[in-house]
Structure 1
Amino acid sequence: MDIDTWWGLVGRAREAAGDRADDRDPPDDPLPGALTDVLAALEPAEIVDFAVTAYEVTASAYRWPLWNAAYLIEGGCGDDGFMDFRDGLVLLGREVFTRAVADPDSLAGLPVVIRMSRGQSGWIGYESLNGPVQAAYGRAGGAADGFHAAVEAAGRGRIRAGEPGGKNGDAEDADAMRRQLPRLAALFLD
């Protein structure tokens, strides 16, 4: 699946969710269901392609500077938390995602991040994009127990694990974070 088509599907789900598309915290978050609905209109093989492309997109965000931003925003962030953060960042849409990967400090301008810095409710992360994608696969007629095998087969040679890219600043060093992520540090450390 080409990247423009992939982001277009995410955009359609965001449009369906309306003004509630930017915060994963509410228990009745409409975006995951909207994504399932959009994807369920596709053929199972296209949904598998969406899943493989999702891995590639989130892998492009596997970068130390973004992980440090997630650490500040979330008040700590381990491996699983950073996976959730990147999946949720995808759901914020192409523009926000692309800007955040290039400049993690840009996240300081998001209303949900500002609310979080004030101790109010909000969350960027999302537990797993696999949930809505797998649900769509089943609704589109794919064998429920075959989803993971189909994604693994389609992704063979395309999905690679590795170390995060970029320069790793010590997320627990407040001075280092003020230099690396000044806007986020102003919200969460000062």
Structure 2
Amino acid sequence: MTEDQFWKLIETSRAAALEGLGESFSEDDLFDAHLASLETELSKLSHAALGEFITLFQQKKIEAYRWDLWGAAYWLFGGCGDDSFSDFRSNLISLGRSVFEIAINDPDQLAPTMKRKDLPYMLSEGFQDVAFDVAEELGVSELDLEFPPYPSDPAGEEFDFDDDDEMARLYPQLVAAFPDSGELG
């Protein structure tokens, strides 16, 4: 599976979920619909392709394992521990390639995205598990899957997420759009 195929699966399943919901839906409705549509698409893959999808998903989570992105999530949700940051990165992947790349290049650029109505709750648990659930249903053993090595620490420089002046300096757009830390929490 190529990276383009990976992103196409994410984006096609997201589009199908949105289309199926109509005009009015909640964050939970969107999250559940996207999980279901992605599960449907993943269940059509060969065992090898499913394993490659899982590997690429893990690589994207590692790519997003960065202090600057963690700081943005911390501001938006008024705190963000290890597990929540894992959920945030998984949900960030669920938004598709363009949003993911914006976040990786400059997390402050997420401000307009986080104001959109077509987002799941970004700390929801489950998106990172859907491919593993499909693999289990299809009888693919975790021993058959390749996992990239996970870094012990996030990339970049650690800083004080509780320093409001530092956060305003690093994330002027996020702080302007969400003046109070935790507005999305």
TM-score using structure 1 length: 0.81
Distance of 2:60 and 2:26 partners within structure 1: 19
What is the match of residue 161 of structure 1?
151
Structure 1 residues 54-63 or 163-172, which shifts more? 163-172
Give the 5 Å matches for 1:55-70: 55-70=58-73
What is the match of residue 32 of structure 1?
35
TM-superposed deviation, 1:165: 1.2
Distance of 1:115 and 1:18 partners within structure 2: 13
- Number of residue pairs aligned between Structure 1 and Structure 2: 174
Q: Does residue 128 in structure 1 map to residue 130 in structure 2?
A: no
Distance of 1:128 and 1:91 partners within structure 2: 11
Percent identity between matched residues is: 34
Structure 1 contact 87–126 (Cα < 8 Å) conserved? no
- Post-superposition CA distance 1:144-171 (Å, at most 9, x none): xx2x3322xx22xx33323111233311
Distance of 1:24 and 1:164 partners within structure 2: 32
Q: What amino acid sits opposite 1:136 in the alignment?
A: V
Q: Mark the CA change 1:27 to 1:100 in structure 2 (over 3 Å): closer, same or farther.
A: same
Structure 1 contact 169–180 (Cα < 8 Å) conserved? no
Q: Mark the CA change 1:24 to 1:13 in structure 2 (over 3 Å): closer, same or farther.
A: farther
Structure 2 contact 91–120 (Cα < 8 Å) conserved? no
Distance of 1:183 and 1:169 partners within structure 2: 18
Distance of 2:120 and 2:128 partners within structure 1: 21
Choose the corresponding residue for 2:139, options 142, 149, 168: 142
Structure 1 residues 62-71 or 124-133, which shifts more? 124-133
Distance of 1:166 and 1:115 partners within structure 2: 28
What is the match of residue 183 of structure 2?
none
Give the 5 Å matches for 1:108-119: 108-110=111-113, 113-114=114-115
Q: What amino acid sits opposite 1:187 in the alignment?
A: A
Q: Mark the CA change 1:129 to 1:114 in structure 2 (over 3 Å): closer, same or farther.
A: closer
What is the match of residue 90 of structure 2?
87
What is the match of residue 188 of structure 1?
178
Q: Mark the CA change 1:122 to 1:72 in structure 2 (over 3 Å): closer, same or farther.
A: farther
Q: What amino acid sits opposite 2:8 in the alignment?
A: G
What is the match of residue 107 of structure 1?
110
